[in-house]
Amino acid sequence: MSDFKRNIIITGGAGFIGSHVVRLFVNKYPDYHIINLDKLTYAGNLVNLKDIEDRPNYTFVKADICDFNKIGELMKQYHVDGIIHLAAESHVDRSIKDPFTFAQTNVMGTLSLLQAAKLYWESLPERYEGKRFYHISTDEVYGALELTCPEGKKSEISAHEVYGEEFFHETTKYQPHSPYSASKASSDHFVRAFHDTYGMPTIVTNCSNNYGPYQFPEKLIPLFINNIRHRKPLPVYGKGENVRDWLYVVDHARAIDTIFHHGKIADTYNIGGFNEWKNIDIIKVIIKTVDRLLGNPEGYSLDLITYVTDRAGHDLRYAIDSTKLKNELGWKPSLQFEEGIEKTVRWYLDNQEWMDNITSGEYEKYYESMYKDR
């Protein structure tokens, strides 16, 4: 048997959110064995974890979550008693172009993990005792909220603005509107079904938009930081009126740690930043911050904003209510957005080699097609 107190597989651990979770667990729990399982697709990068790669309680395994036999072997080899499942295809634009890949990875991959864990844990004398399957999902499964106060108003919870009276709660009805969110909704249902059918100890969390270091530069914030640096257009869908709730990735990792250890089995927790921003407003904050840190005159890069045809099925507003997580488990965001975006912009500007190495010609061509008619 293992000499470690716990043996935990973290899927997608070389990706953006996953690398932060792996780092947190490896550093905080030296008596845990953390097995980072990642297929290393375009968004996975082991450079994200160079600082912990030689730790005695860390192991990397290159594998596909859809490889059911391989997952079963790893469960037995490492005596796995916990799974934190982050691996997923997550970019909406890609899901619109290629829904099959999203269904394969997000649905069948999750089912492969669930079944492998079920068979291994049920083979043990203690069965499910001390085990946990933690599935990370998204707020996009809930669909969209109305933009009932377009100018925003001050939140009763934080000093920031909110753009509507409604929020996503743990009991909000699922209404996914994109192939990506539909695939995540399906995987959520499978996780809950494995608890209801087999008694597997599962937990699901739904999180708002994350930002911070190591995010693949197809996402809005690193994409725009990089484009401003290179004086490239900043493609904005529609009029930029869509509203998102933003959470600093390290705070998300903290929430995952808290929920994995203290969350109730078979429960759901929403994780949000109480931090709503219209896309166009967040873009202007990014421009202002990058220009200042690069020594450009204020407003220098505003001319890079390029409005493009809106995304198909583009949800107007997401807003997470994470009051339950705050009240039951004591978690809350540690950073306000202005502080978090400052840290984030500085990181990308200070790590230009990371950005340059990860930026491929294919990726650049993909986004050039969005504003080719400028």
List active site positions.
139-140, 180
At which residue do the structure tokens 């909110």 appear?
A: 162
What distance in Å separates the CA atoms of residue 276 and residue 140, rounded to the nearest whole number?
Answer: 15
Cβ contact 313:95 at 8 Å? no
- The answer for residues whose C-beta is within 8 angstroms of residue 1's C-beta and 6 or more apart is 79
Cβ contact 53:122 at 8 Å? no
User: Which residues are paired to 245 by β-bridges?
Assistant: 276
DSSP 5: S
How would you label 94-133 residue by residue, b for 16+ Cβ within 10 Å and e otherwise?
Answer: bbeeebeebbebbbbbbbbbbbbbbebbeeeeeebeebbb
Backbone φ, ψ for residue 132 (5° rounding): -160, 130
- The answer for residues whose C-beta is within 8 angstroms of residue 63's C-beta and 6 or more apart is 37, 38, 39, 70, 71, 74
Backbone φ, ψ for residue 185 (5° rounding): -60, -45
Query: Would residue 337 be called left, alpha or beta, if left means φ above 0 and alpha means ψ between -120 and 50 degrees?
Result: alpha
Please report which helix (H) or strand (E) contains residue 321, including its range: none
What distance in Å separates the CA atoms of residue 93 and residue 91, rounded to the nearest whole number?
Answer: 6
Cβ contact 325:259 at 8 Å? yes
